[in-house]
């Protein structure tokens, strides 16, 4: 069951949720004024090329255009949207084209930061649980260093024979071991990246689709 299907299931069960408070996350809504001389059929005829792309199906129902997309190609100008409804509404100031579009991509980008934040918290918990064992390993490592120090002392005979002195562990070796430790930094970075992607995508897609509809409606 995907995210959209789960939300539909909750609605059928009558779950008390004010959907308009949260569905803006993956919905893009808006409206455009229609010239008085244009009929509904002319409006839908002008924007029809947008719904002739591969993987897109659509139908007209009672002054409304309902569409859905599946495996849409990247060159589709509305590829980010998976389904939606466009309808003609009459208002005091004139007729308008209203649209309600849904996007799984926006929903994914919104939820992804929470996933990575959860991973970061899990990493911190695991790191905290591993702390006692690391303390024991550090004490063992100190003993090993003491034993190594004894062997690192070169005897006069070895010096006379020209045997090279044993090498000591450098700070770089210690840094490499430190890098292997668990760190939540990467998860925080990805959470930030997806948060930025969502904000930018949410704003840019709302503006671009409105501009796209306006462009097709203005053509003669």
Task: Tell me the domain boundaries of the chain.
Answer: 3-105+202-218, 109-196
Pick the most confident of 22-26, 31-35, 110-114.
Answer: 110-114
Rounded to whole angstroms, the Cα distance separating 120 from 41 reads 53
Q: What CATH class is the domain 3-105+202-218?
A: alpha beta
Q: Which of 23-27, 60-64, 107-111, 209-213 has the lowest mean pLDDT?
A: 60-64
**Beta carbons of 43 and 97 less than 8 angstroms apart:** yes
76: confidence class by pLDDT, cuts 50, 70, 90 = very high
Rounded to whole angstroms, the Cα distance separating 45 from 32 reads 16
Residue of 27, 30, 26, 82 whose CA lies nearest to 57 = 82
- Residue 74 above 70 pLDDT? yes
């Amino acid at each position: 069951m995907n995210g959209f299907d789960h939300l539909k299931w909750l609605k059928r069960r009558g779950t008390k949720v004010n959907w308009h408070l949260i569905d803006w996350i993956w919905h893009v809504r808006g409206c455009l004024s229609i010239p008085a001389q244009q009929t509904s059929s002319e409006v839908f005829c002008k924007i029809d090329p947008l719904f002739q792309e591969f993987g897109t199906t659509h139908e007209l129902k009672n002054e409304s255009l309902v569409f859905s997309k599946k495996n849409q190609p990247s060159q589709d100008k509305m590829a980010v949207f998976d389904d939606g409804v466009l309808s003609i509404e009459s208002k005091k100031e004139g007729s308008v084209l209203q649209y309600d579009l849904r996007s799984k991509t926006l929903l994914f980008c919104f939820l992804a930061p929470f996933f990575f934040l959860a991973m970061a918290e899990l990493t911190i918990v695991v790191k905290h649980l591993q702390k006692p064992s690391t303390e024991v390993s550090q004490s063992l490592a100190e003993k090993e260093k003491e034993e190594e120090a004894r062997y690192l002392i070169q005897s006069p005979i070895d010096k006379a024979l020209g045997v090279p002195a044993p090498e000591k562990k450098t700070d770089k070796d210690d840094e490499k071991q430190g890098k292997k430790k668990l760190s939540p930094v990467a998860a925080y970075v990805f959470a930030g990246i997806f948060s930025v992607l969502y904000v930018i995508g949410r704003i840019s897609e709302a503006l671009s689709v409105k501009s796209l509809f306006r462009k097709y409606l203005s053509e003669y």
